[in-house]
Amino acid sequence: MSTLEIHASSSENKNGTCLWQHIWKANIPPKVRIFAWRLARNALPTNKNKKARNILKDDTCNICGMESESTYHAVVGCSHSRALLEAMRTDWPVPDDSLLQFSGPDWFLLLLDELSDEERSVITRIFWRNWSDRNSMTHGGGRLSIDASARALRAMQRTLLQKQQNIIDDVKGKSPLNVFAGKQKHKVPLEK
């Protein structure tokens, strides 16, 4: 076990940074944050977890039929998940394959610890989409489309950026909701 892994099991890296802050400080929508907690805690209802709880006898992945459906397989290893990661790589900073390796039970927190803020946000959203696609395919019988998933991720990103821009505009007084915006042509000197 590496030093990093030992620290990870106590939820801190070698610099004493709590690894969980990579999730709670990430720039992601609330539903994606909740998913990330469950992913990091191995609390997603994967076939492997269901088998461990005697809910299922066979934990083979329903999508590829090739491997046991662990959390890692569901969001990284499976064919659909791999394909979406590759599709997003064309214009998003998706971490290199060498970082997307299974490194033990804490693989997700350890991966986040290797990434920049932007990469953390990007990879968590792609993993969330991979898990959502899997659920809609298994439970709703929907068809998987890499193009549709990629479009949905990009739309989510645009909405988030727009919201952030609105907040910035609001702070700067540019928001149309601010009735005084545009009327203050002269700076009023502060009263002494």
Question: Applying CB under 5 A, which residues contact Zn ion?
Answer: 61, 63-64, 78
Minimum distance, C-beta of residue 148 to Zn ion, in the bound complex (Å)? 19
Name the residue nearer to Zn ion (CB basis): 78 or 94.
78
Torsions phi, psi for 18 (to 5 deg): -70, 125
Task: Report the Cα–Cα distance between both ends of the chain, in Å, rounded.
Answer: 65
Residue closer to Zn ion (CB basis): 21 or 79: 79
For the chain, what is the total number of helices (H) and then of strands (E)? Answer: 9, 0
Q: How far is the CB of 34 from Zn ion (least distance, A)?
A: 23
Q: How far is the CB of 174 from Zn ion (least distance, A)?
A: 48
Closer CB to Zn ion, 11 or 138, in the complex: 138
Residue 80: CB minimum distance to Zn ion, A: 7
Residue 17 to residue 115: CA distance in whole angstroms: 14
Q: Which is nearer to Zn ion, 19 or 78 (CB)?
A: 78
> Residues 6 or more apart from 133 whose CB is under 8 A from it?
80, 84, 144, 149
Q: Are 74 and 46 in contact (CB under 8 A)?
A: yes
Separation between Cα atoms, residue 119 and residue 41, nearest integer Å: 20
